[in-house]
Amino acid sequence: MDTAGSANPKIILVGSPNVGKSVIFGLLTGRYATVSNYPGTTVEVSRGHMKIGGKSCEVIDTPGLYSIYPVTEEERVTLGIIKKESHSVIVHVIDAKNLERSLPLTFQLQMTNRPVILALNMYDELTLMGAAIDISALSEKLNLPIAATVAVNNQGTGRLVDQIKTALTGAATAWPPTAEEFPPYTDRMMKSWYTKASEIAIGVTRKTEKQKGLSRLDKLLTSPVSGFLILAAVLYVGLYKIVGSLGAGTFVGFLENAYQHRITPWLTEIVYTYAKWPWLRDLFAGEYGILTLGVRYALCIILPIVGLFFLVFAVIEDSGYLPRLAYLLDSIFKRIGLSGRAVIPMVLGLGCDTMATMVVRTLATKRERIIATLLLSLTIPCSAQMGVILGLLAGRPKILALWAIIIAAIFGLTGTMLAKIMPGTRPTFIIEVPPMRLPKLKNILVKTYVRMVWYFKEIVPLFIIASILIWLGRLTGVFETVVGFLAKPLSYMGLPEPTAPVFLFGFFRRDYGAAGLYDLARTNVLSGNQILISVVVLTLFLPCIAQLLITIKERGWKIAAAISTFILVFAFAAGFVLNSALRLFDINL
Amino acid sequence: MQISEQMEEILEALWVAYEEKNTDCLKLSWLREMPDTAMLKALLDRKIVERCGEGEVKMTKKGEQLASDAVRRHRLAERLLTDVLQVRKEMIHETACQFEHHLHKGIDQNVCTLLGHPKTCPHGRPIPPGKCCKEQLKVAAQAVSSLSALKPGQGGHVAYLNTADPKRAQMMLSMGLAPGARIRLLSSFPSHLFQLGETQFAVDREIAKEIYVRMETS
C-alpha cells in the first residue's frame, strides 16, 4: 500500500512548540509520544495510525515549527515532512490564547494547497482568561474547518476527527497534484501575514484586557537568590534524596540482597543441574555470567535508580520549570559558549545522555551544538551512572563533595576553553516560557513507564552481549590479556588491577562500569583515593555506545571521532593528574 | 558654512571608505563617488581633507565631523523610511539621498529621538551617534525605546527590530515579534523576561536591545 497513488492520505500535526501536538497525536493514534511542558520536547518525527471510515491512515507528529522558514534543525525536520508527504491533510495545532501570533503559520500552510484544519488547543486556558473566540466567524474568514480542543482532557477531539474525515473524503476527489515550492522569505511578506492575522484575530476574539505581572511563583523561580535556593532544593531532594538515598541506597540494597541470597543460588543450582559443561555453566552463572552479572546489574542496580530518576524528572518536565531554569542560568552559560537554551539538554543529560544529545539539535548554532555535545559526553553523568555513584559515595561525603567539585570545575573550565577556541559568533538566547502547570499524574506515570521500557530494551541486550563477550574473552584468554594491557595505564592513575574490568564494562556502557565499581568497592579492595580517582575517570570516560552512535548521527563521524579521542586522552590524563596531586599533598581520603 | 549636496555625497563616500578600509589615508579610487578636480580643490582649500600620498587623501578633524554628520543624516533617513514610512527596500537608498538634505540643524536630532536612537541603518551599518544619543539616558519619556531600557511593568507595542543578522531577525519575527504586537517587560534580571500577547519569552540582553517598543502613553 505504499505506492503514492493508492496509499491513504496522511495526517500531519504541525504547530509552534509546546502547543500540545503530541497529546493530540496520542489521542488520535493511541500511541504515546513524550509530552512535557517545555518547547522542544519533540525533536523527532513519530508515526502512528488511526482508523477513519474503516481505512487506516498514518498520523505524523512533528517537532515544533514557528514558520515555514526554519532556523533550527528540528524545524527543518518538520518542514522536510511537510514537503515530502504531499498526499496529506495538515492539522495546524495552536495555543488558543495566541491566535493572532499563530495565524501567520496557518496562512503559510494554506499555501501548500492541501486541506488544512485548525485545532484551537488549550481552549480551557483561554476561557479561564475570560476570553472567547467566535469559531464559526473565524472558520468563515479563514475558509477552513476549526475545532476547539482541550487535548489533555480529551475534549473536542471527536469534532477534530470528524473534520479530518470530511477533509479526507473531500480531498479524495480533488487532490492537489503536488505542493508548490514556498516563495522565498522576505520581511515584507511576513509582516503582511501578521497584519492580516491581527485584523482577523481582533474581529473574532472577545476578551477582557487585563494586565498581569509575574505570578508570585514565577517571581520566586526567576529571581536569582530564591531561584538558586529552589534549584539547590530540587537537586537535593530530587537527586540526592530520592534517586541517591532512596533509589541507589534503599531499593538497590534490598534488591541486591534478595537477588544475591535468594535468586542467585537458585539460578546457579538450575544452571548446574541442566548444564554439564563448565564453559556453559560459566556463561550463565559464572563470575561474569549473563544471569549472575548482566541481569543482576540491569534489574537490581540500574532499574530502581533509572526508574526513580525518570519519575522525578517527569514531574520537573511537566511543571514548566525547565524554561525558567534556562532563563536563570543564561548569563552563566554564556561564559561556557552556550546560551540558556542549552540548560535543557544538559539537565536532560542527567537522565540519559543519549536522549540529551538528540535534543542538542534545538540549539541555534553549530558552535553551540558542538560545545554542548562535547560537554554532555565528557562531564554529564547519566542517571544510572550518577545514581550508582551517589549510592557508592553515600557513606563517604568527603569523596562525594570532591567528586562533585572536580566534575563541576572540569565542566566550567572545558566550556570556557571551548568558548575561547571555537570559531563562530556568541550565542544569543531566546525561549518561549510556558505557564507553570500542575503535572498530570497519568502523564507522569505513562512517561516514566515508556522511558523505562525504552531504556531497558536498549540496555538489556547490551548487558547480555557484554557478558557473552567477556565470557568469550575469558575462554580464549583475550580478557586476561586486555586486563593486563590496561593494568599499566591504570597503575599510573594509582588504580589496582581489579579495576580493569570496570573500565572494560564502562566501555560498553558507563552505567555498567559504574555498577561494576559499586560491586568492587563493597569488597573493600579500594582505598578512598582510589575510589575518588575511579569515579572521576569513569564519569569523564567515553560515552556509552548508544550515545556515541547518536553523536555520529547528529554531528557527523569526524566531530564524533574528535570528541571521543579528546575524551579518552582527557579522562586518563585527569586520573593521572588527580593521583599525582593527591600523592603530592599527601592526602588520604 | 555652506556645503553643497554634491560635497555632502563626497563626504559620505569618504566616510564609507574610512569605515571599510579602516585606515586614515584613503585612495581616491576607493570612493564610490570620485571628486573632480574643482571639488578636490574646494575640499583641500576648506581644510576638510589633506593630501596624504599620491592620489590619496586624509580627512581632517573637521572633515571627519562633517562626514560623520552627513552619514548620520543619510542612515537616519534610511531608518525613517523603512521603519516608519515603510518604503520598499530597493528604493530606500535613492530616496534617502534626497531626504537626508532636509535633516539639517536639529531636525536629525528629532528624528533620531523619534526612532529611539537607532544604532544601525537597515543595511546593518553603524549610525554615528549624535549629541541627542549621548543625552538619551537623561531623557525621561521617549516615543520609542529599546526593550532593554524599559523598567519591569513598562510596555507598549513592538515598533521594529534592529537586528544586523538577517537570520535572527527572521527567527524573531517568526516567533511573533512583529511590529504592532503587544509587549511588556516583566523582569530585567538576570536576563530579560517579557510578555508578548499571551506568551512569555525569555531573552538575553543582546536581543532585548534589538527590540524597539513604541511606548504606551498612559
Q: How far apart are the first and last CA of chain A?
A: 67
Shortest distance between the Cα of B192 and any Cα of chain A, in A, equals: 8
> Which tens digits make up the pLDDT trace of A306-361?
899 999 999 999 999 999 999 999 999 999 999 999 999 999 998 888 889 988 98
Nearest to B202 among A194, A195, A323 (CB): A323
Q: What's the whole-model pTM score?
A: 0.79
Label residue A2 by pLDDT band (50, 70, 90): very low
Which range of A424-428, A430-434, B19-23, B57-61 scores highest in mean pLDDT? It is: A430-434
Could you report the predicted ipTM of this complex, rounded to two decimals?
0.87
Angle between helices B61-79 and B5-21 (to 10 degrees): 100
> Per the structure block, which three cell numbers stand in for A44?
523527532
Task: Compare all CA atoms of chain B with the CA of A338 and give the residue at the minimum distance.
Answer: B204
Tell me which chain A residues have a C-beta less than 8 angstroms from the C-beta of B198: 95, 97-98, 129
Q: Which amino acid is at A34?
A: T
Whether the per-residue pLDDT at A209 is higher than 80: the answer is: no
Tell me which chain B residues have a C-beta less than 8 angstroms from the C-beta of A211: 184
CB B28 within 8 A of CB B57: yes
Cβ–Cβ below 8 Å for A429 and B167: no
Tell me which chain A residues have a C-beta less than 8 angstroms from the C-beta of B153: 213
B 110-129 near A (Cβ less than 8 A) = none
Where chain B has pLDDT below 70, the residues are 1, 105, 136-142, 217-218
Q: What is the pLDDT of residue A464?
A: 83
CB within 8 Å of A266: residues ≥ 6 apart: none
Cβ–Cβ below 8 Å for B195 and A430: no
Whether the per-residue pLDDT at A268 is higher than 80: the answer is: yes
Whether the per-residue pLDDT at A555 is higher than 50: the answer is: yes
**For the stretch A374-398, what's the b/e string if a residue is b when 16 or more beta carbons lie within 10 angstroms of its beta carbon?**
bbbbbbbbbbbbbbbbbbbbeebee
Question: A8 exposed, middle or buried (CB, 10 Å; 0-12, 13-18, 19+)?
Answer: middle
B193 touches chain A (CB under 8 A): yes
CA atoms within 13 A of residue A367's CA, in its CB half-sphere: 17
CA atoms within 13 A of residue A207's CA, in its CB half-sphere: 22
Shortest distance between the Cα of A236 and any Cα of chain B, in A, equals: 23
> Which tens digits make up the pLDDT trace of A444-478?
999 999 989 988 887 788 778 878 888 888 889 88
Tell me which chain A residues have a C-beta less than 8 angstroms from the C-beta of B200: 432-435
B218 touches chain A (CB under 8 A): no
B181 touches chain A (CB under 8 A): yes
Cβ–Cβ below 8 Å for A432 and B200: yes
Give the integer Cα–Cα distance in Å for A42 and A46: 9
Whether the per-residue pLDDT at A199 is higher than 60: the answer is: yes
Q: Cβ of A73: how many Cβ atoms within 10 Å?
A: 17
CB A500 within 8 A of CB A514: no
CB within 8 Å of A138: residues ≥ 6 apart: A99, A118, A146, A200, A204
B 19-58 near A (Cβ less than 8 A) = none
* Selection from A453, A446, A550 nearest residue A34 by Cα: A446
Give the integer Cα–Cα distance in Å for A416 and A412: 6
Question: Chain-centre distance of CA A566, in angstroms?
Answer: 24
B2 touches chain A (CB under 8 A): no
Whether the per-residue pLDDT at A180 is higher than 70: the answer is: no
CB B96 within 8 A of CB B78: yes
CB within 8 Å of A257: residues ≥ 6 apart: none
Q: What is the mean pLDDT of residues A77-98?
A: 92
> Which tens digits make up the pLDDT trace of A352-405?
888 899 889 889 889 999 999 999 999 999 888 888 888 888 888 899 999 999
Whether the per-residue pLDDT at A29 is higher than 90: the answer is: yes
Task: Compare all CA atoms of chain A with the CA of B173 and give the residue at the minimum distance.
Answer: A190
Task: Work out how many CB contacts closer than 8 A connect A with B.
Answer: 121
Q: Which residue has the cell 503587544?
A: B182
Task: Compare all CA atoms of chain B with the CA of A105 and give the residue at the minimum distance.
Answer: B174
* Residue from A78, A212, A222 to probe the interface with B (highest B Cβ count within 10 Å): A222
What are φ and ψ of residue A501, in 5° steps?
-60, -35
> Which tens digits make up the pLDDT trace of A486-497?
888 899 999 998
